[in-house]
């Protein structure tokens, strides 16, 4: 049983510069989502992070919302919160696999994402995992995002300057590296 196991939890990283995180939550099971959101907010506040919260209809929309925000805004990281409870059809497998895979692909593309989408067999499992005073998976997802943001800042690579740039951008000083032809 998972509740009797000992797990090592990393201390939250500290930040000298401000950071801004987007929490994307799917409130399909509103009470579960509210508990996870409370845990995530508390962890971000403990680390001194500012945050915004947006809601999407379900777990499948979470990665898309994160991708839109990553392209069009200035967030340092993201927290994905939702819950998928096994039902009578294979839809459960599709939602679990596709949302997880999409978040993983975004992460491999340098998005700092804490995945807090619960995938459980029943409501009781979800309630225990979502409860901030129990397993606090919302807080754990926020902590994961903070650790990835800390790594990004440690290694110092910014979002800009990667990929193709026009000749005008290069001439205007958009790329400080050597120009190649």
- C-alpha 135: how far from chain center: 18
- Known catalytic residue: 91? yes
14 Rama sector, left if φ>0, alpha if ψ -120 to 50, beta otherwise = beta
Token digits of residue 17 = 């510069």
Burial of 6 from C-beta contacts in 10 A (0-12 / 13-18 / 19+): exposed
Residue of 7, 8, 91, 147 marked active site = 91
Q: Which residues are catalytic?
A: 91
């Amino acid at each position: 049983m998972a509740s009797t196991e000992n797990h090592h939890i990393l201390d939250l990283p500290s930040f000298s510069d401000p950071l801004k995180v987007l929490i994307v939550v799917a409130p399909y099971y509103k009470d579960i989502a509210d508990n996870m959101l409370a845990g995530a907010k508390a962890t971000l506040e403990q680390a001194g992070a500012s945050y915004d919260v947006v809601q999407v209809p379900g777990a499948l929309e979470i990665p898309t919302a994160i991708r839109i925000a990553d392209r069009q805004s200035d967030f340092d990281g993201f927290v994905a919160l939702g819950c998928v409870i096994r039902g009578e059809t294979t839809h459960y497998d599709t939602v679990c696999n596709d949302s997880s895979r999409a978040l993983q692909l975004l992460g491999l593309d340098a998005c700092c994402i804490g995945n807090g989408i619960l995938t459980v067999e029943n409501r009781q499992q979800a309630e225990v995992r979502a409860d901030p005073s129990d397993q606090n998976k919302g807080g754990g997802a926020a902590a994961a995002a903070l650790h990835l943001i800390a790594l990004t800042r440690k290694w110092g690579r910014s979002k800009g300057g990667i990929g193709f740039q026009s000749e005008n951008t290069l001439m205007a000083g958009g790329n400080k590296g050597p120009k190649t032809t």
